[in-house]
Amino acid sequence: MPELPEVETVRRGLAGLIIDKKIRSVTNDWVKSFPNAKNDVDAFLIGAKITGVRRRAKVLLIDLDSEYTLVIHLKMTGQLVFRSNNDGERFGAGHPSDSLVGRLPDKSTRVTIDLGDSKLFFNDQRKFGWMRLVTSIEVPNIDFMKKLGPEPLSDDFTSQMFAERLKRRPNAVVKAALLDQTVIAGVGNIYADESLFAAKIHPSTRVRDLSDKKLIVLFNELKKILLLSIEKGGSTDKNYVDAEGKRGSYLTFAQVFRKNGQPCPRCGTIIEKSKVAGRGTHVCPVCQKPVKGLQ
């Protein structure tokens, strides 16, 4: 679920809530969600102070003064929600507020981090997400981190560089290349569909059939969309919430994602849903003409 804008929204929220707090205790209700050995957790997590919250691709990094870092991937349904003990009183069970925060922990809570005056809940319905405690210096050397492509929003990453990287996968369909985290980091299904629509490119076009000019348009649209989504607090379809349990509003601005059966905002043609690169894919069949010879 959470893609770059959602993880960035969580990061910003957490940074304002948990920095300088000290970790008092941790409970882990699903081993795979946080598989570190208890010894290491006791030695390097319990008692450590949080010094910073960073993001790389779709990964959150919570730095500790023990020289360790909590590396967290929310995958499809992960949530990282903060609740101060006072909020718990205000929104306790049975309170008319429908706030997620008020109902935590719940049956999807996998890990609870006690921060003394507050708690951080790692909720994850489908259990695909994970967190790991790693020495801070090793973080860039984790296999997953090492292979990641550049951040699309970093200042020194240009549209030419983007085109060049995509073209390393000439035979891939362009949507698969966009979703490939080693080509470019942080793009998932929502922003792949939205940026391809904005650039008027059919998702199953082979990269080799796209001109540099087209690829540059795609990159510029992608950046605009990612920035807009961050401004709107990300996309909430079902599960995603920010650090305070609030939903994101980007999907009200989405042009095609989950809009199948509705008219294209550009030309009025009904938007279709199909499968491309193994993922549900939303397309305006008129604005995004399939390249001849491809299905």
Site residues (vs DNA, CB under 7 A):
1-3, 6, 32, 57-58, 73, 75-76, 107-108, 125-128, 143-144, 147, 169-173, 176, 179, 181, 188-190, 234-240, 273, 277-280
Choosing from 3, 8, 194, 221, the catalytic residue is 3
Separation of alpha carbons 189 and 193, rounded Å: 6
Judging by beta carbons within 10 Å of its beta carbon (0-12, 13-18, 19+), is residue 275 exposed, middle or buried? exposed
Q: 24 catalytic, yes or no? A: no
Phi and psi at 59, nearest 5°, equal -105, 135
Q: Which is nearer to DNA, 22 or 232 (CB)?
A: 232
Q: How far is the CB of 5 from DNA (least distance, A)?
A: 10
DSSP state of 206: B
Catalytic site includes residue 2 = yes
Q: Catalytic: which of 75, 246, 279, 285?
A: 279
Give me the least distance between CB of 238 and DNA, in Å please.
3
- Identify which of residues 76 and 286 has a Cβ nearer to DNA in the complex: 76
Say which of 11, 55, 58, 83 is annotated catalytic.
Answer: 58
Comparison of 24 and 275: residue with beta carbon closer to DNA: 275
The smaller minimum CB distance to DNA, of residues 83 and 175, is found at: 175
Query: Is 279 considered catalytic here?
Result: yes
> Smallest distance from the beta carbon of 83 to DNA, in angstroms?
20
Backbone dihedral region for residue 105 (phi beyond 0: left; psi -120 to 50: alpha; all else: beta): beta
Residues 6+ apart with CB under 8 A from 186: 3, 4, 7, 57, 58, 151, 152, 226
> How many other CB atoms are there within 10 angstroms of residue 182's CB atom?
14
Q: Annotated catalytic, 58? A: yes
- At CA 282, angle to CA 58 and CA 263, rounded to 5? 130
| Residues annotated as catalytic (active site), given as ranges | 2-3, 58, 279
